[in-house]
Every structure is written in structure tokens, then in C-alpha cells.
Amino acid sequence: MIPDELLSKYQIGTWNSLDFFDRWLFQSNFPKISAHFISDNIFQLEQNRFLSADMYDLDLYPPETNPFNYIWYIPITCRFGNDSTKFNFTQTFFLDQQIMNISFNNLYFEYFYCNTDFYGYYIMDYTNENWESLSEALDNNNIDLIDIDRSNLLNNAFMGTQTIEESYLIVRGVTQYLYRDIYTGLLSWQTLSYHVNRMLDVLEYESLYSVVQVKEKKLLLFKIYIFFLNRNISNLLLEIIIEPMKFIYGMIMEHFQNSKKQKKNHFFMKFLF
């Protein structure tokens, strides 16, 4: 362990490093950053503790047990643009309060992407419109979205669906670029493999297990795809199984989207009665 006396002598951004690390070490979960333009030139960042849907009812570490009220010190680098093929402005923000408003003066941007290069241990919560623009940027092979950024967007979209706010339709949107011939990277496929494996595990133990049994041959084919993918096989072998994978992935997404709607209705009904 690094002594507190030593840590307190250093700065991280504008913050004392001891205070910075304490907020990350002694707070459970991690931040979810909501970002959007509240007007044409006012950009807003808001941090909250990330909670999956099931944790709303069973929170082992409620806010009253937390010395920092679930406020982290978070450096956030975002890229902004008006063209789906590139970004043309980058800025880093130092978020140390729940809500921060930033004026862009005369600058105007149609969409943005934050947590560049996947540096931060947090997830982003975008509006549906911004997710659509990011999906278009991925489809158009935005030159500023390198492989780790693409993987981060996939991971972010999947993590967001674990809450009650975000739809699996967002995941469907940001995965379409994987089917384009122009994309040849493997990192995003590995991210997809990880999350779909988790989804398959959930399906296996759900009360809707019969859905899996009926389509077990299709799911077996998908597991074969994952088997090859995790061994970094050649692009040729990926092409052999990519077409059936598209169909199976769509089937799984449809099932989870319907299941999520049922759970969301159940969640709100508990508060009505």
C-alpha cells in the first residue's frame, strides 16, 4: 500500500490524489455518466452510481452508508462532431460534482463520444438520438473510433441494458457495423462474445428455458462461433460462420428485448400497488 502521506503530495488533474483514490476505493459499484446538450451550446454531465435493475430492490450499500455520497472525481475526454466519418473537436472535463454544465459558446455539434480510448472505469448514458448518431458513425467507419473505442461502445451499450432505462434496441444498433466487410478488427467481436455468453447463461437459468430448448441447435451453432472466436481464428473461418451468427444473434436480442419489457412492467407495478 502507498502511504497516505505520499499520495497527498500529488495531484491528479485538479484534485489531490489521496482524495481522488479514496473516492474510487471506498465507494461500491462505479459511476454512470449521463451526457447530453441541454441547449444548442450547453453540454451537461451528470454522474450517478451505476445500479443494475435487480439492485434497486437489494442495495447492500445505500447512499447513507457512503462517506462521499457516491460522487467520484472523474476526468472525462469527449470528442464532438457534425460528420459521421470523423470528429473535429476534443475536450477533457473534470467532473467532481453530481451535475456540471459546460458552455460551448458559439460551437455547435450534432453528436459526441466520451471515455475515449476506454481510459475510464465508468459507463456513459447517452440519449437515444446520440446512440443513433454513434451507430451511424460506426457504420460509416468513423476514422476517430479506433478498435478499443468500438469495443467500449459495445460494452457500454450492453451494460446499459442491465438498468431499467436502456433498450436492447441500442445494442442492436451499435452492432450492425460488425457485419460490414470494411471492418476486420477482432476486439469488438471478443467484446460481443463475452456479453452474448453472459446472455446465454441467463437464458439457461430463466423460467423461459423452453425457448432455449426449442432453439438449442441454433444456440449450439452460436457457441461454435464463440469457440472459434476465442481462439482468434482467421478471417476466412469467421466468414464461414458469420451468416448463421447474424440470425442467431438477432433471435437472442429479440428474446431479451421482450423479456426486458416484461421485467420493466413488473418493476413499475410494484410501486403502483
Domain range for 67:
1-144
What is the C-alpha to C-alpha distance for residues 173 and 139, in angstroms, rounded to an integer?
9
3-state secondary structure the chain: CCCHHHHCCCEECCEEHHHHHHHHHCCCCCEEEEEEECCCCEEEEEEEECCCHHHHCCCCCCHHHCCCCCCCCEEEEEEEECECCECCEEEEEEECCCEEEEECCCCCCCEEEECHHHCCCCEEECCHHHHHHHHHHHHCCCCCCCHHHHHHHHHHHHHHCCCCCCCHHHHHHHCHHHHCCCCCCCHHHHHHHHHHHHHHHHHHHCCCHHHHHHCHHHHHHHHHHHHHHCCCCCHHHHHHHHHHHHHHHHHHHHHHHHHHHHHHHHHHHHHHC
The single residue listed with the C-alpha cell 500529488 is 10
187-205 and 147-160 helices cross at what angle (nearest 10)?
20
Signed CA dihedral, 90, 24, 32, 261: sign only = positive
Residue 151 placed within a domain: no
Answer for the pair 42, 101: CB distance below 8 angstroms, yes or no: yes
Residue 200 placed within a domain: no
Domain count within the chain: 1
The single residue listed with the C-alpha cell 460488425 is 178
Residue 117 placed within a domain: yes
Q: Beta partners for 11?
A: 16
Looking at residue 212, its pLDDT comes to 44
Looking at residue 262, its pLDDT comes to 56
What is the C-alpha to C-alpha distance for residues 93 and 80, in angstroms, rounded to an integer?
13
What is the C-alpha to C-alpha distance for residues 68 and 47, in angstroms, rounded to an integer?
13
Residue 105 placed within a domain: yes
Residue 10 placed within a domain: yes
The pair phi, psi for residue 49, each rounded to 5°, is -70, 135
Looking at residue 239, its pLDDT comes to 47
Q: Model pTM? A: 0.74
Cell numbers representing residue 211 in the block: 425457448
* Distances 257 to 48, 64, 166, 203 between C-alpha atoms, Å: 25, 34, 10, 12
Instruction: Return the CATH number at 1.
Output: 2.60.40.1910
Maximum alpha-carbon separation in the chain? 62
Residue 183 placed within a domain: no
Residues in the chain: 273
What's the mean pLDDT when you consider all of the chain?
77
Looking at residue 236, its pLDDT comes to 40
Residues of the chain with pLDDT under 70: 1-4, 7, 53-57, 181-182, 184, 200-273
Cell numbers representing residue 39 in the block: 441547449
Residue 99 placed within a domain: yes
- Other CB atoms within 10 Å distance of the CB of residue 243: 10
Residue 219 placed within a domain: no
